[in-house]
Amino acid sequence: MTEKPAVSVDGLSLKYRLYKERNDALKTALLRGRRAVYEDFWALDDVSFEVPTGSTFGLIGNNGAGKSTLLKVLSRILYPDKGSFTANGRMAALLEVGSGFHPELSGRENIFLNGSILGMSRKEITRKFDEIVDFSGVSKFIDQPVKNYSSGMYVRLGFSVAINVDPDILVVDEVLSVGDAAFKAKCANKFVDFKKAGKTVILVTHSMTSLQSMCDQAAWINQGKLVTVGDAKTVIADYKKSVDESK
């Protein structure tokens, strides 16, 4: 019997409404009873693919292609206008620096806050607390407000909480590019451990080197549409060829 895919994406479409007027002019127009002038921009347009269970799956494309929007849909931060997706297993996401953190709270308090948002019980967080702090490397600052953290410290703590949720599916955006070399190496090792354990990673990064070394499957998205999906090396080669030809 064939194993179910970790994630199945079926006809996902999501639009943003782009207004032609500036905020102040828009408010004036609405107050006077005039209809606002806008156009619909489809950030995702009928996107369908499957992420095999146990794979490291990369999303590639130029800036504004819709990759981060897609990750936010998969993480249930945004909801599509059309289509649907199914995730088979527990999912954790690290999408942007400081996501799920309250700047006025300490690192310690934010571990419990972020952990609970990701579905961990207080007992589970308490049991894993030392491991989370140790992996993040921010123990000296754990009782300081995170508003005083550098972007790298934010990412290290956020990633450490996310991986200790012990998800079946980990969704990671470009944020890991903020960390230093030592932390990137720790993350790469963690991804290897995830793969050995049969878990799935979906990531967005502009580093073609990272994608080639880490991913076995990839999807190329351009202007909200799926161009191709399949073996990572083939998809990356097609993407690079397209970029070179457009120069």
pLDDT tens track for 121-139: 999 999 999 999 999 889 9
Total domains in the fold of the chain: 2
**Which CATH number covers residue 225?**
3.40.50.300
Residue 210 is given by DSSP the state: H
pLDDT tens per residue, range 23-80: 555 566 555 555 666 788 899 999 999 999 999 999 999 988 999 899 999 988 899 9
**Residue indicated by tokens 């190329």:** 220
Q: What are phi and psi of 130, to 5 degrees?
A: -60, -40
Q: Which among 125, 150, 165 is the end of a domain?
A: 165
Residues 204, 160, single domain; the answer is no
pLDDT tens per residue, range 135-164: 988 999 999 999 999 888 888 898 888 888
Residues 216, 230, single domain; the answer is yes
pLDDT tens per residue, range 162-196: 888 888 998 988 766 666 778 878 887 888 888 88
Domain carrying residue 22: 7-89+168-245
In a domain, 94, yes or no: no
E-strand stretches of 53-174: 56-60, 82-87, 91-94, 169-172
In a domain, 26, yes or no: yes
Residue type, 220: W
In a domain, 177, yes or no: yes
Residues 75, 175, single domain; the answer is yes
In a domain, 236, yes or no: yes
Residues 173, 84, single domain; the answer is yes
pLDDT at 79: 93
Residues 83, 108, single domain; the answer is no
| Average confidence (pLDDT) over 105-125 | 90
Residues 55, 82, single domain; the answer is yes
Q: What are phi and psi of 33, to 5 degrees?
A: 85, 10
Task: Decide if 143 contacts 96 (C-beta within 8 A).
Answer: no
In a domain, 1, yes or no: no
In a domain, 195, yes or no: yes
Residues 105, 75, single domain; the answer is no
In a domain, 95, yes or no: no
In a domain, 18, yes or no: yes
Indicate the range of 14-18, 85-89, 236-240 predicted with least confidence.
Answer: 14-18
Task: Decide if 146 contacts 107 (C-beta within 8 A).
Answer: yes
Residues 81, 126, single domain; the answer is no
Residues 84, 176, single domain; the answer is yes
The torsion of the CA quartet 192, 198, 204, 209, rounded to 10 degrees, works out to 40
Task: Decide if 168 contacts 197 (C-beta within 8 A).
Answer: no
